[in-house]
Amino acid sequence: MGVELATDRPGFYEMVDVDVSDSELVYHVRDALKSVSQGDSDHYNQLIAVMHYTGRLAPDEVAMLVTSLKALSGSISYIDIIHHESLLSSIFGMSMWNYGPDVMDALVELIISLAASNGKFVDSCLDMLVRNFMPPKSYLDLLGHPRGLARKHEVLDRVHSALSHIADLVPLAPMRLTPIILQRMPHMFDKEALIVIYVESMLLLESSALGELVGSTMLMALVDRLIDLDVEISWDDIIHEDSGKGIFDMELEDVDDIIDHAEIDGFEHPRGTAGSQILGTNAVADKLDSLMVLICEHLKSCADGERLTKVFETLLQSFWVTVLNAYKSKFSQFVMFYACSLDPEHCGERFAVFLADIFVCRTHPALTRMSAVAYLASYLSRGKFLPLSLIASTLKRLVDWCLEYCHVQNGEEKTINLEAHRVFYSGCQAIMYVLCFRMRSMMDSHRLKSQLLHMPLEPIFCHQLDPLKVCLPSIVEEFLRQAKAAHLFTVSETFLFNNLLESDLSKAFGGMERLDMFFPFDPCLLKKCDRFIRPSFVYWSMVKTTYDDGEDCSSEEDINEYFDGNGKSYMESGITRSLDEHDLDLDEFEYQLNKMSITPRNSLKNGLIFKLENPFRMPARIRPSTSPESL
Amino acid sequence: MEGLKVSDANLVVYIHPSKAGKVSQSILRELSTLLFKYNEIFDGVVLAYDVTIQNKNAKVLPGIYPCFGVKLKAKMLLFSPKPDMLLEGKVVKLGKESLHVIVLGFSSASIAEEDIREEFRYRIKHGEEVFASTSHKRHVIKVGSMIQFLVKSFDEEILHISGSLIPVNTGSTKWLHKNMEEGSMVDRKKKRKDDRSEMHEHSTELLDDVGFSLKNEGRPKKSKRQRHAEQS
């Protein structure tokens, strides 16, 4: 193959004759490399110059680059890590995104050969390939266009096949690869497009042949990143989590004012730090949303490839280590929800059993157990795909545990130390919560009805420890109402909760963390990943209660109307509709809200720009935003 | 194959008190962190181990976390290639300028063009890249063949070997075995064959066990010799 001289750029091949064979080229390059240690770096520097060709390359420049790279591949053993440091750093600094397929192929060939030839180069080669997961910053905007997408496929195909080639030649490479990937992971405040494209590669690795070795680390790192982003979305910056309802109410009023300002300004530059934080967290929510979409899609492909069970084990492990103990994770847990929905038989059951095991095990810290049972209660209530038999058996486990606990508590205690029994109260509240959602369906099934009627609920709830007084009033009220209609048991006292927003007692057992008001699987407010969750999610309005005889039809209609074709979240649509129809009739609106969620009354803080629902926050009224776009 | 050895080691593994209920599991976990890494003290890459717990009593180390040290006796299978040793490996990549080999499935080795003796020429036979011997027609090295090569150097960090096919007794193992003509080669090969078969027995035996339970775990050893811990 001949080489054409590049006349406009002073090149490496000026000294060389026009018709040069490949092997002669290789000898030429070898000479250039060898002569560096002897002090003569002219040809060497020219070679480096070729590596630095940037911008749109003319065909002859491309040819020169390709042949230089190929010649270098043939001279691997002559490359010395110390003498040829600048050449090596030039090669490792090249970004495949800047070149066409020919150059990409030659470069990849060189990288693979370098990695295989000498152990010292392995880390740098892997690092170079991992850096090529992401395009140069300037390229990010092009990714949306077909040309950019085509280039992306070209690059990533080659990068991943290079990684698997290197793993074939250097079996221990995956071990070195893992820390490099974790190190190079974009920071959570980096651009969303950058994070997304990197995570795509991580997930590709997980499903590739290398996935056996690096897959679990990838997944765990991803869940960690989800939690990092999740934690950034918080109310803490805006609303202080102090005790005392009064202060809280006032602060919420302030938020309303901030929102009003933001609306007026058109969300451009809200005044004050709190306002800018509203917009700041919006970006974080979007990043979290995108990552969750990626992970959900990946899980779907795992399920299709029948790998889900294995991947689920890693997820479960990650959930336990990261999510369960994270302070009130907002949305990250929906990844688990979705995974369970893909395989209710194995994964769905496994998750429920896993959570129940943590709850009943005495060696776990109390907060972990309370958190686990909160997850369990919310999961059993919201999972449409869960078989009633599983729910019933898990419920039975909880009931048995609570009963056992009651038996152990003996003696007359004048004043009950609520904190000491907090695990018990959280268990009781969990039982009530699940029954609020599932009582009707269980009563409708003959077998489960008898099972339910035989459950020793009365001794638990009427015990001296008095869970009915301590647990969250809204839940207790709904539960008793349904229990009465189902003739589950007789309660002598009538519990009247006159607009009690919360019980101080429930706050006492919930502790500083307010785990009494933690309902992790309440409707997901992230726009994009909601479409994965919605089909398997039980919304409160879908639930038939035991006292719900005549209203069945209307609630069905409501549901159909509330599900928008646009994929707007249920809450959004509901609010829009209610707003359109009822013209900001607040009482009606509240009623709608109440119908939607069992979580404490008036607790939904809808109408805010980033649509956050914080049921674990103290309930208060918030005027919903008037414009649908802001929802 | 040279480079494999079995060493006896006296070890003490320190276990966190939270793992007191599952001692053997944590011992295995601790020891498995040694695998496939070069260990200076053992002077080799640990491939497999066979562990027996010496004493049910363990000394508690005072400190913030009172870890307790369990004394163990272990047989370690070590891989420590030294220069001028002969190793065997499988060819995974063959090019005009270099040959890439994998030894024992985990260690990569590369042989550069200048370290391949003149006898071998790069050819393309039947569409396949091979190194064919010019003096012996049947002596051919291609992708997938097992070859025996000399160690030039060993990179302990990435476990990469730099090899050479210069000496006469290197090349395709299949051909080297068959070729019994030279007397000296026969003697050396026979000796190496014996060593190799012994090593293989050892390694396969131990490698089998490592994946599953400890061989002698629970079974008391017949000779109870108290050894002092040489190693902490």
Q: What is the mean pLDDT of chain A?
A: 77
Nearest by CB to residue B93, choosing from A118, A122, A169, is A169
Is the CB of B20 inside 8 Å of chain A's CB atoms? no
- In order of A69, A99, A102, A150, A196, the CA distances from A154 in angstroms are 19, 10, 11, 6, 17
Contact: A169, B108; criterion CB under 8 Å:
yes
Please give the residue range of the domain that contains residue A109. Answer: 22-167
**What is the residue type of A28?**
H
Closest CA to A298 of A230, A194, A228, A211: A211
Paired with B129 in beta bridges are: B124
The mean per-residue pLDDT over the stretch A548-560 comes to 46
What number of C-beta contacts closer than 8 Å exist between A and B? 60
- End residue of a domain, out of B154, B174, B194: B174
Contact: B97, A175; criterion CB under 8 Å:
no
User: What number of CA atoms fall less than 13 Å from residue A626's CA on the CB side?
Assistant: 6
Contacts of B36 in chain A (CB under 8 A): 172, 175
The whole-angstrom separation of Cα A333 and Cα A64 is: 53
In a 10 Å sphere around its CB, with 0-12 CB exposed, 13-18 middle and 19+ buried, how is residue A381 labelled? buried
Is the CB of B113 inside 8 Å of chain A's CB atoms? yes
Using alpha carbons only, how large is chain B's radius of gyration in Å?
A: 22
Residue B124, Cα to own-chain centre: how many angstroms?
33
Is the CB of B164 inside 8 Å of chain A's CB atoms? no
Regarding whether B159 and B97 lie in a shared domain, the answer is yes
Nearest by CB to residue A170, choosing from B97, B98, B108, is B108
Is the CB of B106 inside 8 Å of chain A's CB atoms? yes
- Return the SS3 of A566: coil
- Asked whether residue B231 is domain-assigned, the answer is no
3-state SS string over A188-236? CCCCHHHHHHHHHHHHHHHHCCCHHHHHHHHHHHHHHHHHHHHHHCCCC
Is the CB of A625 inside 8 Å of chain B's CB atoms? no
Using alpha carbons only, how large is chain A's radius of gyration in Å?
A: 31
Strands B107-116 and B160-165: parallel
The whole-angstrom separation of Cα A205 and Cα A133 is: 11
For residue A130, pLDDT beyond 90: yes
- End residue of a domain, out of B23, B57, B79: B79
Paired with B130 in beta bridges are: B123, B142
* From A26-35, A148-157, A291-300, the region with the lowest mean pLDDT: A26-35
Contacts of B21 in chain A (CB under 8 A): none
The mean per-residue pLDDT over the stretch A522-539 comes to 90
Contact: B100, A176; criterion CB under 8 Å:
no
For A461, the token pair is: 């709830």
Tell me what pLDDT residue A394 has. Answer: 95
Closest-CA residue of B relative to A123 is: B158
Contacts of A74 in chain B (CB under 8 A): 96-97
Tell me what pLDDT residue A17 has. Answer: 44
The whole-angstrom separation of Cα B36 and Cα B23 is: 23
Is the CB of B124 inside 8 Å of chain A's CB atoms? no
Residue B58, Cα to own-chain centre: how many angstroms?
32
The whole-angstrom separation of Cα A521 and Cα B209 is: 45
Regarding whether B149 and B105 lie in a shared domain, the answer is yes
- Work out the number of other CB atoms within 10 angstroms of the CB of residue B134: 11
- Any idea what the CATH number is for the domain that residue B55 is in? 3.30.1490
Per-residue pLDDT of A164-188, as tens digits, reads 999 999 999 999 999 999 999 999 8
Closest-CA residue of A relative to B103 is: A171
Regarding whether B106 and B61 lie in a shared domain, the answer is no
- Asked whether residue A320 is domain-assigned, the answer is no
Regarding whether B95 and B29 lie in a shared domain, the answer is no
Closest-CA residue of B relative to A117 is: B110
- Any idea what the CATH number is for the domain that residue B96 is in? 2.40.50.140
- Work out the number of other CB atoms within 10 angstroms of the CB of residue B200: 12
For A54, the token pair is: 């940037």
* From A131-145, A346-360, A594-608, the region with the lowest mean pLDDT: A594-608
Regarding whether B105 and B27 lie in a shared domain, the answer is no
Answer with the residue of higher pLDDT: B54 or A607: B54
Residue A539, Cα to own-chain centre: how many angstroms?
21
Closest-CA residue of A relative to B102 is: A169
Nearest by CB to residue B36, choosing from A119, A168, A172, is A172
Is the CB of B158 inside 8 Å of chain A's CB atoms? yes
Closest CA to A12 of A84, A95, A69, A91: A69
The mean per-residue pLDDT over the stretch A422-438 comes to 93
Q: Closest approach of chain B CAs to the CA of A368, in angstroms?
A: 17
Is the CB of B18 inside 8 Å of chain A's CB atoms? no
Tell me what pLDDT residue A351 has. Answer: 96
Closest-CA residue of A relative to B91 is: A169
**What is the residue type of A158?**
R
The whole-angstrom separation of Cα A481 and Cα B52 is: 64
For residue A249, pLDDT beyond 90: no
**What is the residue type of A100?**
G
Contact A324, A368 (CB under 8 A): yes
Q: Closest approach of chain B CAs to the CA of A83, in angstroms?
A: 19
- Asked whether residue A394 is domain-assigned, the answer is no
Contacts of B95 in chain A (CB under 8 A): 113
Is the CB of B112 inside 8 Å of chain A's CB atoms? yes
In a 10 Å sphere around its CB, with 0-12 CB exposed, 13-18 middle and 19+ buried, how is residue A382 labelled? buried
Tell me what pLDDT residue B59 has. Answer: 83
Is the CB of B188 inside 8 Å of chain A's CB atoms? no
Is the CB of B121 inside 8 Å of chain A's CB atoms? no
Contacts of B107 in chain A (CB under 8 A): 171-172
- Asked whether residue B92 is domain-assigned, the answer is yes
Task: Give buried/exposed letters for A8-44 (b at 16+ CB in 10 A, else e).
Answer: ebebbbeeeeeebeeeebbebbbebbeebeeeebebb
For residue A236, pLDDT beyond 90: no
A5-9, A78-82, A273-277, B109-113 — most confident range: B109-113
Nearest by CB to residue A172, choosing from B113, B114, B159, is B159
Question: Which residue is associated with the tokens 């210069």?
Answer: B166
Question: Which residue is associated with the tokens 């309930």?
Answer: A619
pTM check: above 0.80: no
**What is the residue type of A181?**
I
**Residues 6 or more apart whose Cβ sits within 8 Å of residue B226:** B54, B55
The whole-angstrom separation of Cα A495 and Cα A168 is: 70
**What is the residue type of B163?**
G
Per-residue pLDDT of B7-36, as tens digits, reads 999 998 989 888 888 888 999 999 999 898
Is this complex's ipTM strictly greater than 0.85? no
- Asked whether residue B211 is domain-assigned, the answer is no
Is the CB of A21 inside 8 Å of chain B's CB atoms? no
Contact: B155, A120; criterion CB under 8 Å:
yes
Please give the tally of structural domains in chain A: 1
The whole-angstrom separation of Cα B122 and Cα A157 is: 31
The whole-angstrom separation of Cα A107 and Cα A66 is: 8
Tell me what pLDDT residue A52 has. Answer: 87
Q: Which pLDDT band, with edges at 50, 70 and 90, does A50 fall under?
A: confident
Tell me what pLDDT residue A271 has. Answer: 37
Nearest by CB to residue B108, choosing from A26, A77, A171, is A171
- Asked whether residue A102 is domain-assigned, the answer is yes
Closest-CA residue of B relative to A168 is: B92
Interface of A with B in 40-79 (CB under 8 A): 73-77
- Asked whether residue A152 is domain-assigned, the answer is yes
Contacts of B114 in chain A (CB under 8 A): 77
* pLDDT tens digits in sequence order for chain B, 232 residues long: 888 999 999 998 989 888 888 888 999 999 999 898 899 999 999 999 999 888 788 888 888 888 888 999 999 999 999 999 999 999 999 988 889 999 999 999 999 988 999 999 999 988 899 999 998 888 999 999 999 999 999 988 889 999 999 998 899 998 888 885 554 455 555 556 655 655 555 555 444 444 444 444 444 444 444 444 444 4
Contact: A118, B160; criterion CB under 8 Å:
yes
Q: Which pLDDT band, with edges at 50, 70 and 90, does A476 fall under?
A: confident
Is the CB of A281 inside 8 Å of chain B's CB atoms? no
3-state SS string over B28-78? HHHHHCCCCCEECCCCEEEEEEEEEECCCCCEECCCCCCCEEEEEEEEEEE
- Asked whether residue A160 is domain-assigned, the answer is yes
Tell me what pLDDT residue B111 has. Answer: 93
The whole-angstrom separation of Cα A14 and Cα A27 is: 16
| Alpha-carbon torsion angle B41, B44, B47, B48, nearest 10 | -40
Per-residue pLDDT of A251-287, as tens digits, reads 333 333 444 444 443 333 333 333 333 334 578 888 9
Paired with B77 in beta bridges are: B6, B48
Q: What are phi and psi of B79, to 5 degrees?
A: -115, 115
The whole-angstrom separation of Cα B144 and Cα A217 is: 32
Tell me what pLDDT residue B194 has. Answer: 58
- Asked whether residue A138 is domain-assigned, the answer is yes
Tell me what pLDDT residue A492 has. Answer: 57
- Work out the number of other CB atoms within 10 angstroms of the CB of residue A330: 25
| Alpha-carbon torsion angle A373, A376, A378, A382, nearest 10 | -170
A22-26, A392-396, A489-493, A508-512 — most confident range: A392-396
- Asked whether residue B222 is domain-assigned, the answer is no
- In order of A237, A255, A267, A525, A579, the CA distances from A609 in angstroms are 15, 11, 9, 11, 16
Strands B140-142 and B68-79: unpaired
Paired with B78 in beta bridges are: B5, B46
Nearest by CB to residue A119, choosing from B96, B98, B157, is B157
Closest-CA residue of B relative to A30 is: B97
Regarding whether B59 and B22 lie in a shared domain, the answer is yes
Interface of A with B in 168-227 (CB under 8 A): 168-172, 175-176
Question: Which residue is associated with the tokens 């040279």?
Answer: B2
Closest-CA residue of B relative to A109 is: B95
A32-46, A298-312, A450-464, A606-620 — most confident range: A298-312
Please give the residue range of the domain that contains residue B152. Answer: 85-174
For residue A248, pLDDT beyond 70: no
- End residue of a domain, out of B135, B156, B174: B174
Tell me what pLDDT residue B219 has. Answer: 42
What does the DSSP 8-state code read for residue A168? H
Regarding whether B159 and B90 lie in a shared domain, the answer is yes
The whole-angstrom separation of Cα B148 and Cα B159 is: 18
Contacts of B100 in chain A (CB under 8 A): 116, 169
Regarding whether B64 and B15 lie in a shared domain, the answer is yes
Closest CA to B226 of B73, B15, B49, B68: B73
* From A229-238, A291-300, A407-416, B95-104, the region with the lowest mean pLDDT: A229-238
Tell me what pLDDT residue A19 has. Answer: 53
- Asked whether residue B57 is domain-assigned, the answer is yes
- Asked whether residue A154 is domain-assigned, the answer is yes
Contacts of A175 in chain B (CB under 8 A): 36
Please give the tally of structural domains in chain B: 2
- Asked whether residue B123 is domain-assigned, the answer is yes
Q: Closest approach of chain A CAs to the CA of B39, in angstroms?
A: 16
C-alpha distance across the termini of chain B, in Å:
32
- Return the SS3 of B115: strand
Give me the count of residues in chain A: 631
Nearest by CB to residue B155, choosing from A73, A75, A119, is A119
* From A262-271, A315-324, A328-337, B97-106, the region with the lowest mean pLDDT: A262-271
Tell me what pLDDT residue A235 has. Answer: 56
